[in-house]
Amino acid sequence: MFFIYGTGTTRLVTTPLPTLACAHCGTRGQLSVTVFSRYVSLFWIPVFPFGKVSVTVCEHCKQTLTSKEPLPEAYRLPVQTVQQHAPTAFSNFALLLLVVAGIVLALVLGQLAPNSKSKADTAQSTDADAGVTLGARYKMKNTTGATGYALMEVTRLTDDTVYYKTTSMLRSKPTAASTAQALRDSVSPGAAQSRYPRKMWHFLVQGQGMFRPLTLTE
């Protein structure tokens, strides 16, 4: 990466010096002073100012003097006064202002687009629910280590929640008849209906999840 840096000047103000006599030709009322701001640039964009330079011009004899050299004694105070009161050139902070404007723009765009963000969230949760469908049945491993299994059936789906019911522990091979009966009759009142956040559903049914899709043996 290389950088192209340099310096530049901006004219801040030009003020007549009507009471001052020209140090060269002695003419009064023909002098003016122009104040310049000097700035550092990066890729030709001003970054920050680093001082001011004043230039006096006599309209009569065209003598031009800069404050970089010692000015005639009579010039010093009026020139210094004009230079001190010259306004700041905000354009000399162009790069900084561009960066700030960019940050503000990014924040504003972020505020203006909450809908697209929530759409993305919805799409993500739809992906993450592992395609849960109403009436889907799963087999639940017995976490106590005893033989047997419980059945689980999805009873209700909302945008964000999966509701399901579970049976008590079963030991016989799951057939269409036995599972239908178990789900109809064996629901223990305490576990009649449970719920789980839809976007967390895939943790239950995928990989080493506690619910496995039910395979019937006929």
Selected binder of Zn ion within 8, 10, 24, 47 (CB under 5 A): 24
The residue count for binding Zn ion (CB under 5 A) is 7
- Minimum distance, C-beta of residue 72 to Zn ion, in the bound complex (Å): 11
Cβ proximity to Zn ion, 9 vs 63, nearer residue: 63
Phi then psi for 193, rounded to 5 degrees? -150, 130
Cβ proximity to Zn ion, 61 vs 169, nearer residue: 61
- Minimum distance, C-beta of residue 36 to Zn ion, in the bound complex (Å): 21
Judge contact between 53 and 69, C-beta under 8 A: no
Cβ proximity to Zn ion, 22 vs 205, nearer residue: 22
Does residue 25 belong to the site contacting Zn ion (CB under 5 A)? yes
What residues does 21 pair with on adjacent strands?
Answer: 28
What residues does 49 pair with on adjacent strands?
Answer: 39
| H/E element, 99 | helix 94-112
Judge contact between 92 and 48, C-beta under 8 A: yes
Neighbours of 1 (CB within 10 A): 2
Binders in 28-67 for Zn ion, by CB under 5 A: 58, 60-61, 63
- Minimum distance, C-beta of residue 64 to Zn ion, in the bound complex (Å): 10
Judge contact between 212 and 150, C-beta under 8 A: no
Part in contact with Zn ion (CB under 5 A); list of ranges 14-22, 107-115, 132-140, 155-163: 14-22
Part in contact with Zn ion (CB under 5 A); list of ranges 9-17, 20-28, 68-76, 126-134: 20-28
Does residue 22 belong to the site contacting Zn ion (CB under 5 A)? yes
- Minimum distance, C-beta of residue 26 to Zn ion, in the bound complex (Å): 7
Cβ proximity to Zn ion, 26 vs 197, nearer residue: 26
Cβ proximity to Zn ion, 16 vs 197, nearer residue: 16
Does residue 141 belong to the site contacting Zn ion (CB under 5 A)? no
- Minimum distance, C-beta of residue 16 to Zn ion, in the bound complex (Å): 14
Q: Which long-range contacts (CB under 8 A, 24 or more apart) does 129-134 make?
A: 129/162, 129/198, 129/199, 129/201, 129/202, 130/201, 130/202, 130/205, 130/206, 132/157, 132/162, 132/198, 132/201, 132/205, 133/157
First to last CA, the chain: 71
Binding site for Zn ion (CB under 5 A): 22, 24-25, 58, 60-61, 63
